[in-house]
Each structure stands twice: as C-alpha cells, then as structure tokens.
Structure 1
Amino acid sequence: MRMPGRWWRNKSTPEKVETYTRWSFHFFAVMEFFSVGLTSVPPLGARLGGATMLVVAVHAVLCFVTVSRAIDWTRGRRPQPTALMWTLGAVTAVIAAAALGLAERGPDREGVATAAGGVFGVILIFGPGIIALGVRDRRRAFGLSGGFATGTGVVAFALGASALTALFTALIVLAGGTFIAFTAVFSVWLLNAVYELDEARETRTRLAVAEERLRFGRDLHDVMGRNLAVIALKSELAVQLAQRGRPEAVSQMVEVQRLAQESQREVREVVRGYREADLGSELAGAQGVLAAAGIHCTVAGVPAAGLPPAVQSALGWVVREAATNVLRHGDAQRCEVRLRVLEGRVVLSVENDGVSEAGAEPGSGPSGSGLAGLRERLAEIDGTLEAGPVGRGLFRLTAEVPLPSPPTVSGAAPAVAAARSVSEVTS
C-alpha cells in the first residue's frame, strides 16, 4: 500500500506544482459547498434550504470538473473545455439571479436575506475565477469578472434595489471575481513556467552530451582526415606502380603501412584523452551545472591536484556520472561532494536528496549502465563503488580508490644501477 508521503515524494517538482494548483482550485469548490450550501439549510428551512444546497452542490461539481479539464488543457492533454465553461457560466448566472431574487423578494424571515446573499456572492466570485483557468487571453479572463459584475448591477437594479446598492454589489463582485481570476491566471503562468524550466534543464543536459560527442568527432576528423587522404593517394600510386612492374610500389606500400600504424596510435591517444577526466575540472564543472539547475552543490575535502593522475581520472568519471544522475533522477535540492584520504586510499562521496524510496540505483535500471561502467573502470585500479539510499529521500554514492605505493629502492639497487651505467659508458 502506498503511503501519502511516498506518493508526494515520488513526484517531480513540476508534478508537485501541478498537484498543488489543481487541488487549490478544487478546494474552492469544496469550500463553496460547505460555506454556503450546508449553512443555507437552517435559515431557509428544510425544503427551500435543501433545494438551495442541491443547487450549490451542482455548481460545486461543475467547478470541480472544470478545474480538472482546464488544467489538463493548459498542459496540452485535452482540448479546451469550451462547452463546459459556457455551462458553468450559465449555471453561475442563473443561480446568482435566483439568489438575488430570493434575497429581495423571498420569505420575510430572519436570516433568509443573509443566506441568499451569501450564495449570491460566493457563486459569482468563484464561478468566473474558475472559468478563467480555461481562458488563454488574460484580458478575456479579467473581462469575465467585469461582465458578471455588470450583470449583477443590472439585475439588482431591475429587482428593485437602489442604484447605490446595485453599484456597491457590482463592485464587490468585481473585486472578488478579479482576485480569483488573477489567482487563476498567475497559477497557470507559474505552472507553465515550472514545466518549461524543467524541460530546459533536460535540454541543457542533452546539449552537453551532444557537444561532447561533436568535440570527439572533430578530434577524430582532425586526426584521421589527413592520414586517410594520404593513405588513399599512396595506395592508388602503389597500385599503378605495381601494374607497371615498378619496384617503387613496395616503398609506397611500406609508407602506407607506416601511416596506418601512425593513425592507429593517434586514435588511441585521442580516445585515451577522451576517457581521462581531470578531477578538479570535473568537480568545478559538476558544481556549476548543478547550480545552474537550481541545486545547491558543495565541494569539501582535500584538494584534487595532489592526487595521482590515474586516481584523478577514475574519480573524475565518478563525479561526472554522479552529477548526471542527480540531474536526471529524483528532485534534488542539495548535493554534497566530499573528497578524503584515509589510510592509503582516496574516498569520494556524493550525497543528494530528493530521491524516491523505490530503492533503485540511478543509472542502474534497464535504460542505463552508468554505475556498472564505473565499477568496471574502478576495478581496473582495485577501486570499489557503493551506491544506494542512506536515509529518507537521500542517496549516496561512495567510491574508494587505493593510492599507489611509492617505489621502494633497496640498498643494493643504487650500486647496481651505478655499475650498469659505468659499464655502458666504458663499452
């Protein structure tokens, strides 16, 4: 059974904002029913009050459904609920006119006018505000409140209210409806902005990967382009010389062989440089990328510059993969990177929050093998990698790499080396 807290923590930040927005406006419908629907029964009596409560309940249900359909339309999941909004607007106008008529010409009992006035005000304030969720143009959204306020003043004056009372009632409806409409417009804008920021973060991650691939492709082109062109020309020349029986064909093929071996060596150097990662640069890059994504990242511990190159390269890849996982998985707000040297080994730990309690390792699912690749890379230098949840919403990745032992020279070694040097000189 899924607990409410886990259900909420498993959502991303845009999904949380959407859920909050959706249920905030759903609460308006619930509050409408309980504030004026149920409370109208005692002053209006069982028959009239029950009818009023039923009418308010119908309006609340319409508001509830309109909120869901309008927000889904905002996110592009449904077509615009035009018919539903027109229905809600018509029902709002009819209920408001009936409530106003009940207040002006209803039974002359204590509390009737107050109850009818409450229904009238709440209906006219919440109705246009919720309709504004499904309107893209802001001027039209605010114009709904103005139209309902104008209609309120006209109907109130037609039912016998004084001009001042009708104007005052229209201004109250205008102020309340405009406030709810502004809340709706701002909520929709904020929801779209959060989703756009999340999509921009994903796009930035994909662009970084694409840029790295392009860089690697350019390096390979620079290395292989010239050599392959020369190899092609010399091979063609060797073929022509061989067809003529010229002995120079052999020297040309020897040159082709040399160029092929040189190209192979240069490709290895490019790949080796691509695979090696500088730990200091990776730490600074990860901190900058996470900060740009709105994640507070701290780096603490010993400086990376004093570590051996092989250790820096291995741990640099760990930092790169860990930062990628923090961006792609969960909903992190903070990330802490700590580098320590303990008893002849280097320990790098990366801890972040905002991880669901599913218990799966980021990058270890069916769609990726990042951590498996890191374990293989660290195993080559006798290193280890551990990753998993360590608390409520926390995930920690820990890599340990042993430091290479300094070369020990025995007492006889210098003499042997010196004797070998002397013999080389005398010979």
Structure 2
Amino acid sequence: MSAVSDGPADGSAQRITSVWSARSWSRFILMIVATVFASIVYVNGAHPAWAVALTLGLAALTAVLGVVTRVVPDDRESHWLLAFGALVVLALGLVAWGGPEWAVNVAWATSAAGWSRRKHTKPLILGIGAVTGMLVLAHGADAGQTLILTAFVLLIGMFSAQARRSAELIEELRRTRRELARLAVLEERNRIARDLHDLVGHSLSVVAVKTELARRLLPIDKERTDAELKDIDATVRRALSEVRQAVTSYRQPTLAAELSSAVQAAEAAGIACTVRAPDTWDLPVPVEGLLAWTVREGITNVLRHSGASSCVITVSADPSVSVEVADDGSGAPDGGRPGNGLAGLSERARALGGSLTVGRRDGGGFLLRIEAPKETR
C-alpha cells in the first residue's frame, strides 16, 4: 500500500502559521512601543511625581492584562471576562486620567477583543474605539489627532480579529487534511483488498478444481494427471507473480488474456465455455480493466458455485461496452448474497459511471453483467 504523506502541505501550513505568529508578535511589539512612547510623553509633562508613578504603574498593569487576555483561553468565561473587564477599565481610565497620549494604550483592549472567540467582537472593538475618541476630544485634542489615535486603536483590534480568523482557518485546514489522508488510506486498503481477492481468489479456485481433477485421474491416467499438476504449478507461479505486481503497482489485466484464461479454466473443470466477442476493440485502460476483472470474477463464480455444464461470455463494444457471463448452473452463489468480488466489481463500475447486474436468469442459471460508457468520467 502506498504511503499517504502530507509533508509538503504540512510544511505550507507551518509557514502560514509562522507568518501569522510573526504578525501577532509584531502587534505586541507595536503596542509595547506605543506604551513606552506614551510613558515618555507623560513623564516629560508637568506632572507630580506621585501621579507619574501611579500612571506608569497602571500602564504596566494594562500591558500585563493585555498579555493575559491573549494567554488565558476565552472559553473559561469568568476568568477571561474578569481580566478583559479590568483591562478595558484601566485602558480607558488612563486616557481619562493621563491625557490623549494614553489613547494608544487602549489598543491592548481592542487587540484582546479581536482575538476573542466570542461573538460580536467587531461591535465591541468599535465601541471601545468610539469611547477612546470621545475621551481624546474631551482633553481638547484636535480632529486630526483624534482621528489618528482612534484609527490606531481600531486597526489593532481589526487586525487581531483577522489573525484569530486566520488561525481558526489554518486549524480547520489541518483537520481537513488529516481526514482526507485517513480516507485516502482507507480507500487504498479497500483497493488492495479488492485486487487481492480478484487475483488470488481466481487462481486458488483453478488450483482447487485442477487438484480435485488430478486426484480423480491419478489411478486411471497418469499422463493426464501429470499435465494437470503442471497446470497447477503454472497457475500458482502466475498467482505469485500477479501478487508481486499488485504489491509494487496497480496491475490492470487485459481482456484478451482473461478471456483465454477463462476458457482454459472452464474446460479443465469440464465446463463448456463459449466466448462471443468482436475481433478487435479499442477501449480506455480503466474500462478494459473493468471488463477483464468481470470475466475473472464471473468464471471464478462459475467454477466455485454454479455446478454448471456450460457458460457463455459475451463482450460488446458498441455503442456502450459490456461483458456478460451466463451459465446454466444452479443459480446465484452463496444463496444470492453478493460476495467480496461482486462488491468490488460494483465499486469499480460506479467509479467509471457503469452498472452491475447480477442474479438468476429467466431460463435458469446465473447471470453477471457489467456495462460502462466507453469514455471514463
């Protein structure tokens, strides 16, 4: 079975994750720089020492809460809401207390709101930005300064919301890729099981028939027995070769070879086999493979289950392609329940847009028919 590898795709996802992680850290750095800038501006102002110390302490606490709201999962409702509420109060309080330069510090709150998984984060970001703008105007800032500071606060929040959405999409992509890889492995296993049944099942059926025939001939015809044993040896060697091919690659049988093999196997079992087919056919490889597998499965069921004295294999290539295996035996194998081989044929037929017909014939016996379009889907 071929290994399913998603290494390149994983590498791409990791690169995307690293890019967004770098952007996230760049926003942290930007907000830290903005906080430091606001601190420098405030310290250079005519403020009492106690006010400077209190304001810088609150600014540092705001930055710490901004980091905490990014680390603490927001699905822990009470913890996150407590930290976020304190962050909003502190950030806006600093603007009201310290002046318009502290408006940049409100970006910690809008960034936390944008990164949250909660609904209605955008209205929350817009609300915090609007309050920030009004506080800046209340301190006497002009319209241009107010617009710049408010835009900074809003953009940080919107970029954070975009980063959260991108992170969720990357995680969803990873889950989808893992599921696709699992389904690919499952399909590969089913294909191998189907092929091994088709390859080994037919050969073992021929070996069983010829072994029984050789056992009966041994007391009366040693030359015929020796010929049958040679056929058994050839069949086993061919089966071994086919299994090796199936392991290394997807082996596709040819229709002509399967028709010839079916006639030989049926005649060895004492069943008269007639083939009705056009002299030549030009079919796509998948379609010819489907017909070949059908002949193999059909003659295997005739040998194993039918108890028939004759069978007819009919191949048609115009207007649609079909193959039909009909016998005059006792009816459907296994009491009419489809086995693994028929289930495999049905899967192959559906994959090519074809259909499988199987069941008892009106005149007695069993019928297996596959029909498919000439051009594959």
What's the TM-score, normalizing by structure 2? 0.48
